[in-house]
């Protein structure tokens, strides 16, 4: 019998009928990695949340985390060894805690998701550095599964530039975060640093696990700003970081889709399982999109495409000396093609059931502008974001968006990470697709 089937069977055997009225999710394999923060006392509750949902759970701890939560409690709740040592204890899947050693590679391969809860400042730093000096960091470095961290620490540790930079790096590598929440902290301070509640971490885990709901789909995503050349070295561009589109591409791949990402100006790494096509200008983006369009069953246009480009880009660098003393240059701008409208028109002409999502970045009059835009373009959904907010839109990790439908109906989402927005968006896209086919 495979490890997976054994896990499902043992889960079923442990779950007495009627014990939980909660809807059981598809059983998935989750490693909960615990580090040495005071919030570790909430980990048994998190493990119960996950096992009640039907998941197979294994726990690993940093050596110092054993001061905060007893491995015995975690072993009892999961029915499996909860080790804190790279050298010695038991094999994953074995109920014999005296067996030889836990194979960190086997555990890393077994996981469909690794949750780090609580994630101390120290552990975040070691993850960022790529260390593998204990069982937890070795599993984290070896796994190809998505990783969800639930940071918990004193507010000053949380706000320290080192922690901020570590988080930034980890997020850019695709690590997801949940929390921390603000409130009274165990250390006596008030502020951000409380680990999210177990139920919130379990909900974030469901999002991170995704599903195979997009299996068989070919998803074409555009992301990042375009660069419109002025001369050989200068260009007009915008502040788009590409993070929203990259998050959509990563999530679509996690949900089993074949994903093509047409990327404009961005420094982001390609998400796992995604084919990337790099482009510069809006004209190049149009060519790439039209080349990929025939195979695409879903299109998400999250790129910030320039509306205008310089009419006469120069092949060579414009020399300052070539201008009159103290003189400037006049740039004539001409409109770029409207790629979203073209994709919508072609799809309609082909009688295709392709689902098309557009994005709108607005600095004012957000909803009304978005309603006008969706009516003009003819896509199935428009994601409107208010780029005048400092915590949403361009170049930040969070976004507060509104989903605008062709009939003008609006769904407001709260401030969420871009990964969470991507998950909500693809849930919505799957519903639109199911309605069309």
Ligand X SMILES: Cc1cc2nc3c(=O)[nH]c(=O)nc-3n(C[C@H](O)[C@H](O)[C@H](O)COP(=O)(O)O)c2cc1C
Among 120, 166, 266, 297, binds ligand X (CB under 6 A): 120
Q: Within 385-414, which residues bind ligand X (CB under 6 A)?
A: none
- The nearer residue to ligand X, 158 or 246, going by C-beta atoms, is 158
Q: How far is the CB of 155 from ligand X (least distance, A)?
A: 11
Residue number, 30 or 152, with CB nearest to ligand X: 152
| By the rule CB under 6 A, 181 interacts with ligand X | no
**Which member of 157, 230, 250, 285 binds ligand X (CB under 6 A)?**
157
Rounded Cα distance, 69 and 64, in Å: 10
Helix (H) or strand (E) holding 366: helix 366-377
User: Which of the ranges 47-55, 120-128, 310-318, 406-414 carries the binding residues for ligand X, by CB under 6 A?
Assistant: 120-128
Q: For residue 269, what is the DSSP state?
A: P
Q: Counting contacts by CB under 6 A, is residue 153 touching ligand X?
A: yes
145, 148, 151, 152: CA torsion to nearest 10: -100
Nearest distance from C-beta of residue 77 to ligand X, angstroms = 20
Please tell me whether residue 62 binds ligand X under the rule CB under 6 A. Answer: yes
- Cα 395 to Cα 18, 235, 269, 392, 415, distances in angstroms: 48, 19, 15, 8, 15
By CB under 6 A, the count of residues binding ligand X is: 15
Sequence-ordered list of residues with C-beta below 8 angstroms from that of 171, at least 6 positions apart, any chain: 177, 397
Q: What DSSP designation does 63 have?
A: G
Do the Cβ atoms of 333 and 371 come closer than 8 Å?
no
Query: Residue 35 or residue 398: which is nearer to ligand X going by CB?
Result: 35
Phi, psi of 114 (to 5 degrees): -115, 125
Does the protein bind ligand X through residue 38 (CB under 6 A)? Answer: yes
152 binds ligand X (CB under 6 A): yes
Nearer to ligand X, 159 or 365 (CB): 159
What is the smallest separation between the CB atom of 151 and ligand X, expressed in angstroms?
8
Q: Choose which of 121, 263, 421, 429 interacts with ligand X (CB under 6 A).
A: 121
Q: Is 187 a catalytic residue?
A: yes
Output phi, psi for 304, to 5 deg.
-100, 90
Q: Which stretch, 37-45, 255-263, 363-371, 388-396, contacts ligand X (CB under 6 A)?
A: 37-45
- Which among 35-43, 87-95, 233-241, 366-374 is the span making contact with ligand X, rule CB under 6 A? 35-43
What ranges in 33-82 are assigned the alpha helix state H?
43-52, 71-78
- DSSP letters, 113-160, are EEEEEEE-HHHHHHHHHT--SSHHHHHHHH--S-EEEEE---HHHHHS
In the chain, the N- to C-terminal Cα span, in Å, equals: 38
Residue entry with tokens 């082909």:
350
CA distances, 427 to each of 14, 163, 350 (Å): 31, 32, 25
CB distance 47 to 58 below 8 Å? no
Exactly one of 52, 64, 160, 276 binds ligand X (CB under 6 A); that residue is: 64
37 binds ligand X (CB under 6 A): yes
Q: Min. distance of Cβ 194 from ligand X in angstroms?
A: 9
**Counting Cβ atoms within 10 Å, is residue 30 exposed (0-12), middle (13-18) or buried (19+)?**
buried
Q: Name the minimum Å distance from CB 211 to ligand X.
A: 32
Q: Determine the Cα angle at 201 with ends 199 and 206, to 5°.
A: 95
Of 13-21, 87-95, 149-157, 347-355, which part binds ligand X (CB under 6 A)? 149-157
Among 36, 155, 170, 304, binds ligand X (CB under 6 A): 36
Residue 261: strand pairing partners: 221, 276
The crossing angle, in degrees rounded to 10, of helices 339-349 and 282-292 is: 20
Provide the β-strand partners of residue 265. Answer: 225
- With CB under 6 A as the contact rule, the residue among 11, 35, 83, 336 that binds ligand X is 35
* Closer residue to ligand X, CB minimum distance, 162 or 333: 162
Residue 86 contacts ligand X per CB under 6 A: no
- Asked whether 270 and 261 are in contact (CB, 8 A), the reply is yes
Residue 412 pairs with which residues in a beta bridge?
402
- Site stretch for ligand X (CB under 6 A), options 57-65, 138-146, 220-228, 346-354: 57-65
SS3 163: helix
Residue 304 interacting with ligand X (CB under 6 A): no
Which one of 150-158, 274-282, 414-422, 424-432 is the stretch in contact with ligand X (CB under 6 A)?
A: 150-158
Q: From the CB of 130, what's the least distance to ligand X, in Å?
A: 15
Nearer to ligand X among residue 37 and residue 71 (C-beta) = 37
- Nearer Cβ to ligand X (151/224): 151
By the criterion CB under 6 A, which residues form the site for ligand X?
Answer: 35-39, 62, 64-65, 120-123, 152-153, 157
Residues identified as active-site: 187
């Amino acid at each position: 019998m495979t490890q997976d089937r054994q896990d499902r069977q043992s889960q079923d055997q442990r779950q007495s009928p009627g014990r939980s009225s909660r809807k059981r999710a598809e059983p998935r394999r989750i490693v909960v990695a615990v580090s040495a923060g005071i919030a570790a006392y909430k980990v048994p509750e998190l493990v119960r949340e996950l096992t009640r949902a039907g998941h197979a759970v294994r726990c690993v701890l940093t050596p110092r985390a054993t001061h905060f939560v007893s491995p015995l409690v975690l072993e009892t709740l999961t029915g499996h060894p909860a080790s804190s040592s790279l050298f010695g204890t038991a094999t994953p899947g074995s109920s014999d805690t005296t067996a030889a050693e836990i194979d960190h590679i086997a555990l890393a391969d077994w996981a469909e998701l690794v949750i780090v809860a609580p994630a101390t400042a120290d552990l975040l730093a070691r993850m960022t550095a790529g260390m593998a000096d204990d069982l937890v960091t070795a599993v984290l470095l070896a796994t190809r599964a998505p990783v969800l961290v639930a940071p918990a620490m004193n507010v000053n540790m949380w706000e320290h530039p080192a922690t901020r930079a570590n988080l930034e790096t980890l997020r850019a590598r695709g690590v997801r975060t949940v929390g921390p929440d603000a409130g009274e902290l165990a250390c006596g301070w008030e502020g951000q640093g409380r680990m999210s509640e177990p139920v919130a971490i379990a909900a974030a885990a469901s999002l991170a696990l995704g599903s195979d709901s997009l299996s068989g789909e070919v998803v074409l995503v555009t992301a990042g700003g375009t660069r419109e050349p002025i001369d050989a070295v200068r260009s007009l561009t915008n502040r788009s970081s590409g993070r929203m589109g990259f998050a959509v591409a990563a999530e679509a791949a996690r949900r089993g889709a074949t994903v093509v990402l047409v990327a404009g100006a961005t420094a982001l790494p390609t998400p796992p399982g995604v084919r990337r096509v790099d482009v510069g200008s809006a004209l190049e983006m149009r060519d790439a999109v039209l080349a990929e369009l025939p195979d695409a069953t879903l299109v998400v246009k999250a790129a910030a495409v320039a509306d205008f480009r310089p009419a006469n880009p120069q092949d060579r660098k414009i020399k300052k000396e070539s201008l009159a003393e103290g003189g400037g240059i006049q740039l004539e701008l001409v409109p770029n093609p409207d790629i979203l409208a073209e994709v919508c028109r072609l799809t309609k002409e082909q009688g295709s059931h392709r689902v098309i999502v557009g994005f709108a970045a607005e600095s004012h009059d957000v909803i009304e502008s978005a309603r006008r835009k969706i009516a003009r373009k003819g896509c199935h959904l428009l994601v409107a974001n208010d780029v005048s907010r400092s915590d949403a839109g361009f170049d930040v990790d969070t976004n507060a968006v509104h989903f605008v439908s062709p009939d003008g109906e609006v769904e407001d989402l709260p401030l969420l990470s871009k990964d969470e927005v991507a998950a909500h968006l693809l849930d919505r896209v799957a519903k639109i697709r199911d309605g069309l086919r």
